[in-house]
Amino acid sequence: METIDWKNLGFGYSKADFNIRCWYRNGQWGELEVSDSENVTLHIAATTFHYGQEAFEGLKAFRGKDGKIRVFRMEENAKRMQRSSQGIMLAEVSTALFTEAVRKAVRLNEGYVPPYESGAALYIRPLLIGTGPQIGVKPADEYLFMVMVMPVGPYFKEGFKPTDLVIYREYDRAAPLGTGKIKVGGNYAASLVAGQRAHHNGFSSVLYLDAKEKKYIDECGPANFFGIKGNTYVTPKSDSILPSITNMSLRQLATDMGMKVEERQIDVEELAEFDEVGACGTAAVISPIKRVYDADKDIEYLYGTEPGKVSVKLYEKLRGIQYGIEPDPYNWTAIID
């Protein structure tokens, strides 16, 4: 642990000392258990393996300038995991159990929370899976909720550097009335082929359009989309995108800065009218976009090679709250002690 090179961490798995586990059996959740193993032993017919009964979350803990550890909006992650559970019939984890497990995982692995100066953070990954055996298609009768953590670097090693997105109309990540609005592994499996093709061609991510009409912007693979037009923050309204907690926070900060906020359908051609566009999510807060390439129509939308002013301002404000250097008027952060 003393040997972690905090400044050169990427976004990848590494082992911390402990993870938290909790089993749901006979209709109820048991006690939180602490494990130092990276392995889980499961029944060969567990529903998570066969029918994708799996939901996850992602959030971060930050070591502030004051040395305190803060976790960002974990109640929102708990509520979102409950919505995911309703969507694919998993046993629900209460907000109290979720936040207790997160606090415990952070506390037990405190030495893995990167120092303030590094700009890195502790990534927290809660996971909920169906463990009971079924071969008929029905929900499991047993579940396992786990929380693992790992230190991760600033998402972009090069800094807050704009990247390129690509539009391919031949792939969808989620159906209009499907599972796009919940955080389940199946959506990610469905995005791997398009994602790999995008990376191979030098793009950071695919910008998905709505699956039905291929007319409106949905989101960027694992992050929400936003555009800045004058003094307005615009983000898509769609039933097939995942409600990002980062996006929700940015909308509030934009409002507080006196901007107008619009959640509405965004026609893909409106890309030509934005001053700045970005992807937002826990991993990077904001990744500014310098170019969106519509591969089917061979049209490119360009936004400049430097991050836009508004994106920078929003990014700094949110990071400042997370690291305890800006006031936190909505109590978004919880101190772990």
Q: Measured from the CB atom, is 20 or 242 closer to ligand PLP?
A: 242
In angstroms, what is the minimal distance from the CB of 129 to ligand PLP?
17
Q: Nearest approach, Cβ of 178 to ligand PLP (angstroms)? A: 12
Q: Minimum distance between the CB of residue 218 and ligand PLP, rounded to whole angstroms?
A: 9
- DSSP assignment of 40-101, as one string? ----TTBHHHHH--EEE--EEEEE-TTS-EEEE-HHHHHHHHHHHHHHHTPPPPPHHHHHHH
| Residue 229: alpha-carbon gap to chain centroid | 25
Q: How far is the CB of 241 from ligand PLP (least distance, A)?
A: 7
Say if strands 299-302 and 285-294 run parallel, antiparallel, or are unpaired: antiparallel
Nearer to ligand PLP, 223 or 228 (CB): 223
Could you give the CA distance from residue 94 to residue 77 in angstroms, rounded to a whole number? Answer: 11
- Report the nearest approach of ligand PLP to the CB of residue 187 (Å): 6
Q: Which residues pair with 329 in a beta bridge?
A: none
Q: Is the dihedral of CA 23, 25, 29, 31 positive or negative?
A: negative
Identity of the residue numbered 89: M
Question: Is the Cβ of residue 209 or residue 223 nearer to ligand PLP in the bound state?
Answer: 223
Residue numbers at the binding site for ligand PLP (CB under 6 A): 58, 183, 219, 222-224, 242, 244-247, 281-282
Please report how close the Cβ of residue 272 comes to ligand PLP at its closest, in angstroms: 24
Nearer to ligand PLP, 101 or 283 (CB): 283
Whether 202 contacts 164, CB under 8 Å: yes
C-beta separation of 149 from 122 below 8 A? yes
Q: Which is nearer to ligand PLP, 183 or 317 (CB)?
A: 183
Residue whose CB is less far from ligand PLP, 21 or 183: 183
